[in-house]
């Protein structure tokens, strides 16, 4: 009986697909600190960005303003994605859905009544 039990056809447990590792970025200007996380960018798919901005004059999280993420290709073509307010103090959540694969330069802009700032986030691959 033990021999028959050992011959039972058992398959290994199914592997669950792993989530791609999030990309984290921190940048400073004289006005603000930017901390941002997002998944790898895939053409035609939404990537949820969490953009955290701190006002360096007061060291407080921003509670208002528009955040724009721009992806600019080498040929000058740009796509922009924005949100008009934080989802909670200091955290601006927005979806970025690049239309085509390629290399881009990413810029994050803040536009509020009290503060305007731009962060060059560097090159990204889609």
pLDDT at 90: 87
Residue 2 — pLDDT band, cuts 50, 70, 90? very low
Q: What is the mean pLDDT of residues 39-48?
A: 97
Residue 94 and residue 67 in contact, taking contact as beta carbons nearer than 8 Å: yes
Q: Specify the higher pLDDT residue, 119 or 10.
A: 119
pLDDT at 6: 52
Tokens of residue 109, six digits: 């802009």
Estimate to the nearest angstrom the gap between the alpha carbon of 56 and the chain centroid. Answer: 22
Q: Specify the higher pLDDT residue, 16 or 48.
A: 48
pLDDT at 49: 98
CATH numbers and ranges of domains, the chain: 20-125 (2.60.40.1930)
Residues 9-31: tens digit of each pLDDT: 555 555 556 777 899 999 999 99
Nearest to 51 by CA among 15, 27, 77, 21: 27
pLDDT at 89: 87
Can you give the pTM of this predicted structure? 0.82
């Amino acid at each position: 009986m033990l021999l028959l039990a050992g011959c039972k056809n058992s398959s290994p447990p199914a592997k669950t697909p792993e989530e791609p590792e999030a990309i984290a970025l921190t940048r400073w200007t004289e006005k603000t600190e930017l901390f941002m996380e997002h998944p790898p960018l895939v053409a035609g798919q939404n990537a949820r960005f969490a953009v955290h901005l701190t006002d360096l004059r007061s060291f407080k999280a921003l509670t208002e303003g528009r955040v724009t993420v721009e992806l600019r290709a080498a040929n000058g073509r740009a796509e922009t994605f924005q949100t008009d307010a934080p989802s909670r103090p200091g955290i601006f959540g927005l979806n970025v859905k690049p239309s085509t694969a390629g290399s881009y330069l990413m810029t994050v802009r803040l536009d509020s009544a009290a503060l305007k700032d731009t962060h060059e986030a560097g090159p990204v691959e889609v």
